[in-house]
Structure 1
Amino acid sequence: MTRALLRADGIGVRFGGVHALRDASVSVGPGEICGLIGPNGAGKTTLFDVLSGMRRPDAGTVTYDGTDITRRSPVWRARHGIRRTFQRQQLFGQLTVTDNLVVAQEWRGGARSATRLRRERAAAVLHECGLDPLAGTYAGALPVGRARMVELARALADPPRGLLLDEPASGTTARERRELAAVIRHMADEEGCAVLLVEHDVSFVMELCSRVVVLDLGRVLAEGTAARVRSDPAVREAYLGSGTGAAEGATEARDVEP
């Protein structure tokens, strides 16, 4: 693999006496789609919080393009190309779909003509995501599956270098998952974006990701290709379980991880 764009090394996070993460490491390179899976409570969302700057780790470092950004804020990371979606939908419900994408670019400032360029960029991203018919719809009126795609589109409005996608397929139909996967592949293959994906839909992860990392009790249990992880006895015992392996295309329950 090429040098990692975004990397977490030896991450430790404690909540009182509970270790949410213990010496956990994960990396993702340009053009790569890496899956992060594990049981509820394994530490996946906590690791995303550390990577996105929302939580400072008790131990370990985060590097971005070779630079230590462990102490950098979420705003700094977002403005330098690290974008994130969340388990719970975070759209601006009282704004239209187009305006949700325009707002994501407003931090750049500029003259009045910049607004036109941002709306043009928003329209291009909506087209790429198949959302043209919803451009003028208020985001709060969208069904779950379409709202998930709008969240992804908003993350793409200001072109990212790294994408952290937290449960992007949750609540979506089979067709919506295919559309979502196509957009993610395009970002990795054509735009060179580094994508790290947390998802309980194991079949979605195994089909989409070139590499999979498994967390259990805050530690990295296994890492490798989908085939290698799927056949790992420790992974099957701790997570996939007898009869529910990824080879059978199982989908884990989509409970919110503490």
Structure 2
Amino acid sequence: MNGSTAATEDDTPVLEAVGIGVRFGGVRALDGVSLALRPGEVCGLIGPNGAGKTTLFDALSGIRRPDEGRILLDGTDVTRRSPVWRARHGMRRTFQRQQLFGQLTVADNLVVAQEWRGGGGGLVADLLSAPTRRTHEKGRRERAEAVLRSCGLDGIGGAYAGALPVGQARMVELARAVAEPPRVLLLDEPASGMTDDEIGHLLSVIRYLSVEEGCAVLLVEHNVAFVMKLSARVVVLDLGHVLAEGTPAEVHADPKVRDAYLGTVSGQSPARTVGPRGDSSGQECNTARDR
């Protein structure tokens, strides 16, 4: 059974990319890419290495300004807004390479994500440990503990983030991204390096965020089986273009997708066998085709 509900009762896109183009010198990494993401929807974004997936994430999150097109958040053009502005207005992101504060504890990583709201009184209130400051700090600690529990990380709040195994570190990064409830969550290979049990828990957390909290999720992941199981809709990028879009079943059955990424219909070698780390082993493509 596939993924979460495609959208909540509100069918207005919370995030929309319109005709996005990105160039690196003479190379067009993205060429006229458009997609819309609605509240409560989990959308998978797949394609061979070099297809433009991370570049699209960079454009959506504000790390790279597109050369063409617009980014809309809740109907507002945010193309020129900074990543910080977008994060503070509900757009959060994780990265292929973990971006945790390794010298802070797990709990402190989540508290830091809430500190931008401040607590009034400035530096003086901090130095004097004003009651309002203590109240805000207590609330943020309680929120951090609750999020860690929901992510299956209770009991490790005092551990240093830099000492965690890969699977736990990835889950902590997700927990930090949702320390304040997001409107949009961009997940870049969140299951990479996780055990099967950790992947199962990750799937449950993402479903909860989409179904119960109405968070829109755009998911890049080389584990195609994970994407197909979780997503209500899948978008396939290839060489900077949208190659296909539809339900997991429709995308899996599309001959163009099978030729470019999942393997040929005839069962012969895929047209481009690029593994999840850019090697030419074809392992990921063959695994996806077998599934």
Please tell me whether the aligned partners of residues 89 and 151 of structure 1 are also in contact (alpha carbons under 8 angstroms). Answer: yes
* Separation in structure 2 between the aligned mates of residue 140 and residue 59 of structure 1, nearest angstrom: 38
**Residue aligned with 1:136, SS:** coil
Stretches of structure 2 that go unaligned for 5 or more consecutive residues are 1-6, 120-131, 268-273, 280-291
* Cα offsets for 1:91-145 (capped at 9, x unmatched): 0011110000000000000131111100000000001001002111100110000
Q: 2:218 aligns with which of 186, 190, 196?
A: 196
Q: Please say if 1:123 is aligned against 2:142.
A: no
Please tell me whether the aligned partners of residues 16 and 35 of structure 2 are also in contact (alpha carbons under 8 angstroms). Answer: yes
Q: For the structure 1 residues 256 and 107, does the alpha-carbon distance in structure 2 shift closer, same or farther, using more than 3 Å as the test?
A: farther
* Cα offsets for 1:10-45 (capped at 9, x unmatched): 000000000000001122110000000000000000
**Could you say which residue in structure 2 is the equivalent of 1:66?**
75
Q: Please say if 1:181 is aligned against 2:203.
A: yes
Q: For the structure 1 residues 48 and 202, does the alpha-carbon distance in structure 2 shift closer, same or farther, using more than 3 Å as the test?
A: same
* Separation in structure 2 between the aligned mates of residue 256 and residue 116 of structure 1, nearest angstrom: 45
* Separation in structure 1 between the aligned mates of residue 265 and residue 154 of structure 2, nearest angstrom: 41
Please tell me whether the aligned partners of residues 139 and 147 of structure 1 are also in contact (alpha carbons under 8 angstroms). Answer: yes
* Cα offsets for 1:217-258 (capped at 9, x unmatched): 00000000000000000000011113899xxxxxx732169x
Stretches of structure 1 that go unaligned for 5 or more consecutive residues are 246-251
* Separation in structure 2 between the aligned mates of residue 101 and residue 243 of structure 1, nearest angstrom: 46
- Matches for 1:219-238 after TM superposition, within 5 Å: 219-238=241-260
**Could you say which residue in structure 1 is the equivalent of 2:174?**
152
* Separation in structure 2 between the aligned mates of residue 126 and residue 149 of structure 1, nearest angstrom: 9
* Separation in structure 1 between the aligned mates of residue 224 and residue 211 of structure 2, nearest angstrom: 22
* Cα offsets for 1:65-88 (capped at 9, x unmatched): 111111111000000000000000
The structure with the largest alpha-carbon Rg is: 2
In the superposition, the TM-score normalised over structure 2's length comes to 0.84
Identity %, equivalent residues: 70
Which stretch shifts more, 41-50 or 235-244? Answer: 235-244
Q: How many residues are paired up?
A: 251
Q: Please say if 1:94 is aligned against 2:103.
A: yes
In the superposition, the TM-score normalised over structure 1's length comes to 0.95
Please tell me whether the aligned partners of residues 96 and 136 of structure 1 are also in contact (alpha carbons under 8 angstroms). Answer: yes
Please tell me whether the aligned partners of residues 145 and 154 of structure 2 are also in contact (alpha carbons under 8 angstroms). Answer: yes
Please tell me whether the aligned partners of residues 87 and 256 of structure 1 are also in contact (alpha carbons under 8 angstroms). Answer: no
Q: Please say if 1:57 is aligned against 2:79.
A: no
* Separation in structure 1 between the aligned mates of residue 234 and residue 155 of structure 2, nearest angstrom: 35
